[in-house]
Amino acid sequence: MAKREEQTADRTAEPGQKLGEKAYQKELARLHGELVHLQEWVVKKRLRVCILFEGRDGAGKGGTIKALTERVSPRVFRVFALPAPTEREKSQMYFQRYLPLLPAAGEIVVFDRSWYNRAGVERVMGFCTQEQATEFLRGVPLIERAIIDSGTILIKFWLEVSQKEQTRRLEGRINDPRKVWKLSSMDLESYRRWYDYSRARDEMFDMTDTPESPWFVVRSDDKKRARLNVISHLLNTIAYAPLPREKIALPTRQKAQGYQDPDYPYRYVTEKF
């Protein structure tokens, strides 16, 4: 089956400028419709899809995942953002806590950060040794090959943000009560260690960007373009087709047959708006 043709957004901005909200919403709505078709295809064909999102703090992973999943079923698109490992998990084989989360038939699993924590934050922040990080980088291509050979479609995205844009976004979190929860001491330290993360990223790409399991880099200084590009790439990676649907019509509502609304003292929410 041929892959579906990629369509570009009806952009109001010139290349290099931010994508306008109207053009963004129009294209996002179209892509959301295609994601519903993909979802139905994955369920019907019992496919297994695993999508990894990695990148620097402030690169836009959370917003991209939200745009990807906000119009589909959470029972099909299952999102995992694992907390720090427990003491028991630290004593296990490193991959052990991720393996049970891999998709079953008819599922698309999305990791907001993944086993690549070991190649990034754990390595840079000293939560693992250099030897453990090196062992991970040597072993992960073999494990990913086994995941792919089992029939799972594995897609890896790296969101790349510039120093200037990362600074703007993290500064924007400091005094915004809606975003301050997203700014941790770990974010501040990772901001300081920009080049340590750069070196870790470079070695990670060198050892884990394989023909069987490649990394796809997303330029994310423009969040809207990044979200559309990720969704478009996903739709063009997995061959699918819209499934036929029966025409839907609302049934006739039953007659009241004597039912009357009760005279009950409901406690209504105060209507301030």
Q: What is the pLDDT of residues 98-114, one digit of tens each?
A: 999 999 999 999 999 99
Residue 243: inside a domain: no
Q: Examine residue 127 and state whether it is found in any structural domain, yes or no.
A: yes
pLDDT value of residue 11: 39
Burial grade of 135 (CB within 10 A; 0-12, 13-18, 19 or more): middle
Q: What is the pLDDT of residues 112-130, one digit of tens each?
A: 999 999 999 999 999 999 9
As a whole number, mean pLDDT of residues 202-208 equals 98
| Domain assignment present for 244 | no
Q: Flag whether 1 is in a domain.
A: no
Domain count, the chain: 1
Query: Is residue 16, in this structure, part of any structural domain at all?
Result: no
Query: Does some domain include residue 242?
Result: no
> What CATH code is carried by the domain that includes residue 75?
3.40.50.300
Q: How many degrees, rounded to 5, is the angle at CA 245 between CA 241 and CA 247?
A: 150
Q: What CA–CA distances, in Å, run from 80 to 45, 52, 112, 166, 182? A: 23, 10, 6, 24, 17
Question: Beta-carbon neighbour count of residue 16 at 10 Å?
Answer: 7
Q: Is residue 14, in this structure, part of any structural domain at all? A: no
Q: Which residues pair with 218 in a beta bridge?
A: 159
pTM for the predicted model, two decimal places: 0.90
- C-beta separation of 226 from 218 below 8 A: yes
**pLDDT, average across residues 208-236:** 97
Q: Supply the pLDDT for residue 42.
A: 98
Domain span at residue 117 reads 22-237
